[in-house]
Amino acid sequence: MAHLLSTSYSVKFSSGCKPSTKPLIQDSVVFPKSVTFQTSKTPFTRLLLQAQRSRSNCTVCATTLSASREASNEPSQGVHQSSSEPSKSKRVMVIGGDGYCGWATALHLSKKGYEVAIVDSLVRRLFDQQLGIDSLTPISSIHDRLRCWKALTGKSIELYIGDICDFEFLTDAFKSFEPEAVVHFGEQRSAPYSMIDRSRAVYTQNNNVIGTLNVLFAIKEFGEQCHLVKLGTMGEYGTPNIDIEEGYITITHNGRTDTLPYPKQASSFYHLSKVHDSNNIAFTCKAWGIRATDLNQGVVYGVITDETEMHEELINRLDYDGVFGTALNRFCVQAAVGHPLTVYGKGGQTRGYLDIRDTVQCVEIAIANPAQAGEFRVFNQFTEQFSVNELAALVTKAGEKLGLDVHTTSVPNPRVEAEEHYYNAKHTKLIELGLKPHLLSDSLLDSLLNFAVKYEDRVDKKQIMPSVSWRKIGAKPKTVAA
């Protein structure tokens, strides 16, 4: 990946020593206890070492920041618990807790009384630096975020900075925190990123598949009862010409009947990494009795949750660029800055979507109602399905109400995907467990559009058009930054 790092950049991951540029809410309790540098040759460290070799000034402080533990914390033995009030304090490790879904979830669980530890390598912040992209919203460092949370709520969130592909690091984090549930968001999650070139395809599958395998081994070795809540994706199923079930389908073939994993037809190296993860998790549930829930999540939209809107320093990231930005979030930002909405191809591509407030709710429900030992449970985690054309029409209508002049452009599809197809995916299991969906509404679109208008000065319009082609992917390292 040296090519990626050959452009001039400087990354400094602070270990909490950097003064905040915003009014800092001082917290006298949470300070880094120890600073360790990860030296193993995981893909992430290789990436960093290459960064250092390639003349850049890259300082990484891998920090284990462990807040004081409550004496009352006992392992939970309950199985079916209410989603709103955990009867006992539960220790939840949120891997990828500095990212879009993970940050919102970590705060939500902390607010609800769970003891939370974030595990994150911060590699996502590095991708942004490498690609020359940025969140629409100005996000604070993870240390400032956590200090602010502690100051506002009195609640500590433990922090382990490192790469889960490094099993020694993960082992230390597991032994130190002793999670009863692990929510695993910590993957390279962009389909376009995985299709830039060979090195990103390899990185994506290595990072995601090995990281998940390590989590499975850590559970087996150090926390047999620990419930794995793994973020999968609806894209694992592809777009078959039959209804999509939740994980399994009962088939009668030549007079015999069986219930089998639903067929997977993923359409990017990223989406395929999730299929490989699912297979590995299913196998270890059978072989080792691991309890796991695979949340096949649809495309997430929105930026505000009850917790992240408590303070500017808690603001979540919102990606709008052509690599990490996702459909509805992108369309809202495009409408706000007068860029035509970028519908790829015919626009009939239909997917499941959900509000980020429902992401955090679904994860909480999954944790409160764990899978049984040996059970590989699959939930389809989305609330509504839309075609890209339908999303563009909704954003156009909402934008016009706010006085924005919104147009749509048909962009030659950079992906290989069906542009007109049947799509009917089941999503009842989380509703049965108590999910109360926030359906896409005019008021949500208004608030997302207003949010985008508020930060429009931060939009780099050069990053909006897609720059990664599924067909043109090659072995030669490619630079995609503008």
Annotated catalytic, 233?
yes
For ligand USQ, which residue of 66, 76, 239, 349 counts as binding (CB under 6 A)?
349
Q: Which does 122 bind (CB under 5 to 8 A by kind): ligand NAD, ligand USQ, none?
A: ligand NAD
101 binds, among ligand USQ, ligand NAD, none (CB under 5 to 8 A by kind): ligand NAD
The entry of ligand USQ, ligand NAD, none that residue 186 binds, CB within 5 to 8 Å by partner kind = ligand NAD
Nearer to ligand USQ, 154 or 412 (CB): 412
| CA diameter of the chain | 70
Tokens 């920090």 correspond to 63
Q: How many residues bind ligand NAD (CB under 6 A)?
A: 28
List binders of ligand USQ among 362-421 (CB under 6 A).
388, 415, 417
Does 235 engage in binding with ligand USQ (CB under 6 A)? yes
Q: Which residue has the tokens 């604070």?
A: 140
Residue from 189, 200, 291, 427 binding ligand USQ (CB under 6 A): 189
Please state the three-class secondary structure of the chain as a single string: CHHHHCCCCEEEECCCCCCCCCCCCCCCCCCCCEEECCCCCCHHHHHHHHHHHCCCEEEECEEEECCCCCCCCCCCCCCCCCCCCCCCCCEEEEECCCCHHHHHHHHHHHHCCCEEEEEECCHHHHHHHHHCCCCCCCCCCHHHHHHHHHHHHCCCEEEEECCCCCHHHHHHHHHHHCCCEEEECCCCCCHHHHCCCHHHHHHHHHHHHHHHHHHHHHHHHHCCCCEEEEEEEHHHCCCCCCCECCCEEEEEECCEEEEEECCCCCCCHHHHHHHHHHHHHHHHHHHHCCEEEEEEECEEECCCCCCHHHCHHHCCCCCCCCCCCCHHHHHHHHHHCCCCEEEECCCCCEEEEEEHHHHHHHHHHHHHCCCCCCCEEEEEECCEEEEHHHHHHHHHHHHHHCCCCCCEEEECCCCCCCCCCCCCECCCHHHHCCCCCCCCCHHHHHHHHHHHHHCHHHCCHHHCCCCCCCCCCCCCCCCCCC
Active-site residue identified among 274, 396, 423, 429: 274
| Identified binder of ligand USQ from the candidate list 205, 326, 385, 408, rule CB under 6 A | 326
With binding defined as CB under 6 A, does residue 299 bind ligand NAD? yes
Please name which of 172, 70, 73, 74 lies closest in space to residue 119, comparing C-alpha atoms. 172
Annotated catalytic, 270?
A: yes
List binders of ligand NAD among 42-71 (CB under 6 A).
Answer: 44
Minimum separation from the CB atom of position 103 to ligand USQ (A): 15
Of the candidate residues 109, 117, 122, 406, the single one contacting ligand NAD (CB under 6 A): 122
Q: How many residues bind to ligand USQ according to rule CB under 6 A?
A: 21
CB of 319 to ligand NAD, least distance (A): 7
3-state secondary structure 455-466: CHHHCCHHHCCC
231 binds ligand NAD (CB under 6 A): yes
Q: Which of residues 198-217 bind ligand USQ (CB under 6 A)?
A: none
State the binding partner of 344 from ligand NAD, ligand USQ, none, CB within 5 to 8 A by kind: ligand USQ
User: In this structure, how many other beta carbons lie within 10 angstroms of the beta carbon of residue 431?
Assistant: 14
CB 215 within 8 A of CB 228: yes
Which of 190, 127, 196 minimizes the C-alpha distance to 478?
196
Closest contact distance (angstroms) between CB of 326 and ligand NAD is 5
274: annotated active-site residue: yes
Sketch the per residue contact string, 169 through 208, with ligand NAD: x for CB under 6 A, - otherwise.
Answer: ----------------xxxxx-----------------x-
Of the pair 219, 425, the CB lying nearest ligand USQ is at: 425
The Cα 36–Cα 42 span in angstroms is 15
Among 115, 163, 236, 321, binds ligand NAD (CB under 6 A): 163
Name which of ligand NAD, ligand USQ, none residue 415 binds, using a CB cut-off of 5 to 8 Å depending on partner kind. Answer: ligand USQ
Site string for ligand NAD, 319-348 (x = CB under 6 A): -------x----------------------
Of 16, 86, 192, 211, the residue at the interface with ligand NAD (CB under 6 A) is 211
**Residue 298 makes contact with ligand USQ by CB under 6 A:** yes
* 351 binding partner (options ligand NAD, ligand USQ, none; Cβ < 5 to 8 Å by kind): ligand USQ
Q: Which of 233, 239, 326, 396 is catalytic?
A: 233
List binders of ligand NAD among 232-251 (CB under 6 A): 233
For residue 210, which of 244, 169, 249, 176 has the smallest C-alpha distance?
Answer: 169
Provide the binding-site residues for ligand NAD, judged by CB under 6 A: 44, 96, 98-102, 120-124, 163-165, 185-189, 207, 211, 231, 233, 297, 299-300, 326
Catalytic residues: 233, 270, 274
Provide the binding-site residues for ligand USQ, judged by CB under 6 A: 189-191, 233-235, 271, 298-299, 326-327, 330, 342-344, 349, 351-352, 388, 415, 417
